[in-house]
Structure formats: C-alpha cells, structure tokens
Amino acid sequence: MRRIAVIGGGIAGLSAAYDLQKSGKIQVVLLEASNRLGGKIETVREQGCLIELGPDSVFSTKPWAGELMTEIGLADEFIAPLTSEFSILSKGKLHPVPRALVGLIPTASTALESVGFLSTAAKRRFLAEADVKPGGSEDESIASFFRRRLGTRFSQLVAEPLLAGIHGGDPTKLSMLAMYPSYKGLEQTYGSLSAKPHTPATPGKAGPPPGFVTLRGGLESFVDRLVQCLSSVEIHLSEATRSLLPKSGGLRLEGDGFAGEFDEVILAVPSFAAAPLLQTCAPRASELLASMRTVSTAAAAFGYPISAFKSPPKGSGFLVPFSEPCEITGCTVVSNKWAKRAPEGVVLLRAFMGQEGQPSVDDQDDEELLNASQNALERLVGATGAPLFRRLGRWPRAMTQYEVGHLDLLDDIEAGLGDLPIRLVGSAYRGNGIPDCVRQGRAAAQAIIDGL
C-alpha cells in the first residue's frame, strides 16, 4: 500500500486526504502545524451571534466546494444571502451600487440612472465599452484591463474594489489571467464584455444554487463534517514539518515529533511555508516560492443593539476603493446578509483590514485594530455607544498576491520540482477561494490515484 503525506490541514489538504482515503489503496498521513484543522475557515459564537472570522461563503458558480459539501451530507444546510445589495465608499459617503452593475457587463443605461458616485462622462464611458478595441492575449493587471475597457473612474470605484479589494491586493499589480480569466476570454473571443450575455458556469447538479451560499451552522461545519469522514487518515496536529529529502524513490519527511518515508507528498501550505521545506531538495522552486508576496489581513466583528443606530444599516455591506482613505477595506452587515446570524434586535457587523500598499496590520496590536475599525463604523454607518462585544480574527500573510505573470511563475516553480513526487495545492497557487482550494486538493489526489 502506498503512503502519502498531506502537509497542511486547511480545506485543500482536507479535500485531498478525503479523496485519497476513498480509494482504499492508500495510507494517508495528514500533518498540521497548528492545533486545529480548517485553515482560514473558522466559525465562532459570541452572545448568540454566529461569526465567521475567515471567509463567510462560497461562490457556487465554481461548483467544487458545493459538490463536496453535498457528497458528505450537507446539502440540506445550504442557505443563500437575504440580500445582495451593497454600497461603495466614495468621498467619505456610502453610495448604493445597482445589482445590474455587479457583473461589470455594460447594460442598458437605466442601470446607471440612480448611481450618484459616477459623473455623466464616466457613465457614458462605461456604456461605450463595446467600442473599445480588444487588447492582446498577454497578462495584464486588473486595473489595466478594466480601466481600458470600462473607463478609469468606473474601474476605480466599482471593478477594482470588487475584484482586487477582497483579496487585499493592489489592482495595478494583480493578474487578470490568474484571477479572472473569464473576462479576458470574453474580450478575446467576442471583442467586448457586452457582445455576448455573461452567464456564469452551470454548477454541478448536486451542488447548491448559483450565487454565494453558506452553511446554516457556519462554514466550519464543512470542516467538521469532512474531518469526521477521515476515519482512516492518520492526523497529527501541532506537528510542524521541518524538512523533505529524497529517499528511495520517495521522500523522507521530518518534523518536530514525527518522521517517516512516503511515496508522494501533497504540500497544502502557503508559499512561504513550502519554500523552506524545498530548500534542499528543490532549491530553485524554493527560491521562487519565497519570492511570492503576501498580505496579512484581519477581520473585526462587532455586535450592536439596534438602538445604537438612528437608522439601521441597509444592504449586505460596503467596499472601500483602493484610493479612498479609510481604516478598513470593507464591511459586511452580517445580520442583514445571512439569516439567524444574530438575535433579534442585534446588528452584527464585520469589518476588514489589510491591503497591499497600506500600513500592515502586523504592525498594530489587537486593541489598535479593533479601535480603528470601530471608529470607521461609527463614522460610516452611524454606530454609537459601546458595542455588546468585539471579536478579532488575524490572518498573518493570508493573502498571496497573484501578481501579473503569476501563472508563468507557477510553471517555473513546478519545473523546479523536477521529478520529485511533490504536488503544491492551496490558496497560494491556482485559485484562492474555497472552491478553488477544494478543486486543487481533489485534483492532486485524483492524479495520485490514477498513477497507482
């Protein structure tokens, strides 16, 4: 029986271990450096509120997470957002964004009539997208692509916060080909984003309905159920791997309290954690992995009595453009977005911090981050008085920056691994959302199974 080590107990590593175990032909050992599984997925409860300290939903038009959730018996737990309306911060004020604009596909001018944060010239430029000549097929930044196609102002205020801000990234650096290839594909195929109706990919038949969805008990229930399914996987928590060395056609793995030889290894860890493990056996890959830039983020949750607001906040929250001065990068009104996340009469807010080009959250202590985000919420949504509670989640170096040329960099890294039986999966590589991490983990497992 082949022995496979999965290093990293985030959702990519857990997904890989799940499929490897299912084959019935593989002995699987999973090693996690921290004292818990799930990586950035963490659900906590505070005074009757359900709080996600990491991601709060999955994009089900990428079907891979929904399919796995369904497979392990969570289909009845899917819930959809109560509202998808959100706002953009512009010149210190919040402005609602019409739903028709969220897809970034120019449509009838009626969608723009109520938009107060765009000038007439910016609206006209957006609607003239079909007249813009297509660019080349080479990689470019999110800012370059959308400013070219939709106009600078629309891109800065809508496209860039939507597509770059949620990744803590600088839109002038992040790669279109690595992050949003479908938009590049539309331009290359049809010459315009509006030349063909922009319909999302059809999710798997067994998956949740299209859109953003979450689980009734929080996303950590996905982790918990998946771990329950790993009945024959040998799991080691608080076990940091220190080295990987070629050994007898496989690899020898050594950690603080664990050592063993394996036929193959799935490295489901961030690039900065993978780099030192490969320093001896794959120095070029190690060097390239160490060069990948990351951003630390934090999420602060606040519970307020509804009486703390003259007018309770509307919609699901707001985003902050890269150029707008603000202590936070966005906010979710959790109690508006998801059902039963807070008791009646309580407004649950979640503010986000950490972005490329901004002061690092690593340089501020918990109290400073909580105070800064609370001040922003007081100013922008009118929260007054002391909150019922404050809760902070920190994610050091959580966001790998998929900069222009990212896919070429990954090709070079994989070439640097040579014939070593090592597979890299996770948010640092080929997709950083939960569905993409599930896809990568399961694909790595399937490749190993196919090679038996």
* 146 or 201, which is more confident: 146
Report d(CA 200, CA 212) in Å as an integer: 12
For the domain covering 104-190, report its CATH number. 1.10.3110.10
Give the pLDDT score at 201: 45
Report d(CA 428, CA 289) in Å as an integer: 9
Which superfamily does 2-39+221-292+402-450 belong to?
Answer: FAD/NAD(P)-binding domain (3.50.50.60)
Which superfamily does 57-82+294-400 belong to?
Answer: Protoporphyrinogen oxidase, mitochondrial; domain 2 (3.90.660.20)
The reported pTM is 0.94
33 CB burial (10 A radius; 0-12, 13-18, 19+): middle
Give the pLDDT score at 209: 56
Residue 140 has pLDDT above 50, yes or no: yes
Give the pLDDT score at 99: 82
Give the phi and the psi of residue 221 in degrees, each rounded to 5.
-65, -25
Among residues 127, 142, 133, the alpha carbon closest in space to that of 188 is found at 133
Range 311-336 average pLDDT: 95
Q: How confident is the model at residue 248 (pLDDT cuts 50, 70, 90)?
A: confident
SS3 string, 310-351, reads CCCCCCCEEECCCCCCCCCCEEEEHHHHCCCCCCCCEEEEEE
> Which regions of the chain carry the CATH code 3.90.660.20?
57-82+294-400
Q: Measured at the alpha carbon of residue 435, what is the angle toward residues 22 and 296, in degrees to the nearest 5? A: 120
Among residues 367, 298, 368, 303, the alpha carbon closest in space to that of 329 is found at 298
Give the SS3 label for residue 28.
strand
Give the pLDDT score at 249: 86
Which pair of structure tokens corresponds to residue 236? Answer: 């080691």
> Which regions of the chain carry the CATH code 1.10.3110.10?
104-190
Report d(CA 313, CA 80) in Å as an integer: 20
Range 138-157 average pLDDT: 97
Which pair of structure tokens corresponds to residue 116? Answer: 């107060």
> Are 323 and 357 spatial neighbours (Cβ–Cβ below 8 Å)?
no
